[in-house]
Amino acid sequence: MNLTDSKVLTFDCYGTLIDWETGISDALTPLAERAGKILTKDQKCEAHARFEAAQEAETPTLRYSEVLEKVHDRIAQEWGVAPLPVESRAYGQSVKNWPAFPDSAEALQYLKKHFQLVILSNVDLVSFRASSPRLQVDFDQVLTAEEIGSYKPDLRNFEFMLRKMEAAGYRKGDILHTAESLFHDHLPANKMGLASAWIHRRAGKPGHGATFPPESMPEYTFRFTSLGEMARAHQSLLQH
């Protein structure tokens, strides 16, 4: 399979296009300071990962901003301090401050010329709309956990996306699911028989950062360390 064989790129957003680890780390700094902890970026992100997937599974219809509030409460308890509603709300609203990866906007603008671009994200629509201007591209569809009523890696999210794509005239074989998270995206993509491109933003770093570790190593069709690398690979194919 070549990159030029696909017609649709379905994207995870946070961790793939938006640098959620920087956003999470920055947003957890006030709590860490209050708890008297000196933590690395990865340590703060790993604290987030310990609770996020469980919270999403427990409350699949809760908006992502509210999931983040509950995650913040759990982290506070783990760090030995009382949760403060004002801090938890701020964490829930922090998505709007999370930066895009430096290569995301330019790569998306290039890819938009050659593919349908679709968001399949574990987020609520208000939070995504706050992030969207940083990506500087119009997506053809935006599918959120809030709309679907469950969170990836639940297969319902991928089934929902496939129905939407079928209604738009695209088959499973036309789709390349493009994501960083092995847990949220590549394992369920394997189960759904979807081709996938691993945007390995954490290449060269130990652990899984803000993402819950996968139960096993999934397969993937392509691997790139940035979206810019993926765009350049596609451009190179067209030139030969």
Residue 226: CATH number of its domain = 3.40.50.1000
3-state secondary structure 172-209: HHHEEEEECCHHHHHHHHHHHCCEEEEECCCCCCCCCC
Shared domain for 200 and 133, answered yes or no, is: yes
Shared domain for 119 and 195, answered yes or no, is: yes
Shared domain for 128 and 194, answered yes or no, is: yes
Range of the domain at 125: 3-19+99-239
Of 67, 97, 127, at which residue does a domain stop?
Answer: 97
In whole angstroms, what is the distance from residue 118 CA to residue 51 CA? 27
pLDDT of residue 240: 74
pLDDT band at 186 (very low <50, low <70, confident <90, very high): very high
Shared domain for 113 and 231, answered yes or no, is: yes
pLDDT of residue 181: 96
Of 30, 65, 97, at which residue does a domain stop?
Answer: 97
Q: Dump pLDDT digits (tens) for 22-60.
A: 999 999 999 999 999 999 999 999 999 999 999 999 999
Structure tokens at 86: 């004002």
Q: In the predicted model, is pLDDT for residue 1 greater than 90?
A: no
Split into its structural domains, the chain has a count of: 2
Shared domain for 116 and 56, answered yes or no, is: no
Mean pLDDT of the chain: 96
Shared domain for 35 and 79, answered yes or no, is: yes
List the catalytic residue out of 12, 19, 42, 185: 12
User: 73 catalytic, yes or no?
Assistant: no
In whole angstroms, what is the distance from residue 59 CA to residue 1 CA? 38
Q: Dump pLDDT digits (tens) for 227-240.
A: 999 999 999 999 87
